[in-house]
Amino acid sequence: MTAGVCDVSSRLMILGSALLIASPLAAQDQTTKVISAPPASVAVPVQPTPSPLSNAQIDRLRADVGTFEMLLQRAINRATLEMSQWAQQIVPNVALMQAAEPVVHGVPAGDASITFSVEVAEMLGVPLWQELRQRQRPQPDPSGVQRVGAQIVQADPTTSPGPPVTTDDANKQYSEFVRQAVINAILDNSGVLPLKEEQILTVAVTPANVTGPAPGYKTPSRILILSIKGGDLEQLRQGKISRDEAKRRIVETHF
């Protein structure tokens, strides 16, 4: 019995020693596996790729842009007519006209904006109109009298002629007519364009000297740029904002 017990005790001690040796090895192997395990991949958000427009969508966009080009041309022609009527009220029988028809090009820039370039030619007849205007102004006499038709009357200092209307004054008036016409076209007719809420509608009006300046002379740039968000125009069409509020949201810059 004693020998049997000793034999069993020896086997248990050998088994325990084997387990004690195996445990650190197993733990070391497990640690090695944890350390050598590759890091989990981090999911990177994939940016959506803009889908190209179909041929049908491109054709529709071209048609819409072409329609607004035509509406802008009509707006410039209307401004020219208003300028001519304004000039005839000052000097009758002198017709001012455009040196050339306005040229309009629209270019969509993806989802960012739709930009229109408008080239406006100068008005013909302004120098003659200015000269005739100057001749019509009554000239005061040093003696204090002035001629009215066939009569000579005492001059009234309170009714002396105002300052002459210069070519610059006429050009500024024409520019204002054009500016108001383009603003009205943006507010009234931009619904033909497929503008998204964050898209920008921009109209750049550039004076074009068609008759040509003197050789070597470069006309200074005087570009009028009007911009407004598509969301603002949509609010105007839905009646959420007034026309005056929409006009205030138009960003006007000069370059």
* Domain membership flag for residue 38: no
Q: Which residues contact 249 (CB under 8 A, 6 or more apart)?
A: 228, 229, 232, 241
* Domain membership flag for residue 126: yes
Please give the pLDDT value at position 22. 47
* Domain membership flag for residue 32: no
Instruction: State the residue range of the domain holding 111.
Output: 55-134+162-254
Please give the pLDDT value at position 80. 95
Please give the pLDDT value at position 15. 47
- Name the domain count of the chain: 1
* Domain membership flag for residue 48: no
* Domain membership flag for residue 239: yes
Q: Which residues contact 104 (CB under 8 A, 6 or more apart)?
A: 69, 70, 72, 73, 116, 117, 118, 119
**CA–CA distance, 207 with 122 (Å, rounded to integer):** 7
Please give the pLDDT value at position 143. 58
Q: Residue-wise pLDDT tens for the chain (255 aa)?
A: 444 544 545 554 554 554 444 454 444 554 444 445 555 555 555 555 555 778 888 889 899 999 999 999 999 999 999 999 999 998 898 889 999 999 999 998 877 899 999 999 999 998 888 888 888 766 555 555 555 444 555 555 554 455 566 667 888 899 999 999 999 999 999 999 999 999 999 999 999 888 876 555 455 558 999 999 999 999 999 999 999 999 999 999 998
- Give me the helix-helix angle, 55-90 and 126-136, nearest 10°: 20
Listed residue (204, 250, 193) closest to 227, CA to CA: 250
Please give the pLDDT value at position 168. 75
Q: What is the DSSP string of 76-94?
A: HHHHHHHHHHHHHHHSTT-
Which residue type occupies 17?
Answer: S
Please give the pLDDT value at position 170. 86
Please give the pLDDT value at position 217. 47
* Domain membership flag for residue 46: no
**CA–CA distance, 187 with 204 (Å, rounded to integer):** 15
Please give the pLDDT value at position 183. 98
* Domain membership flag for residue 35: no
* Domain membership flag for residue 151: no
Q: Which residues contact 233 (CB under 8 A, 6 or more apart)?
A: 186, 187, 190, 191, 195, 201, 246
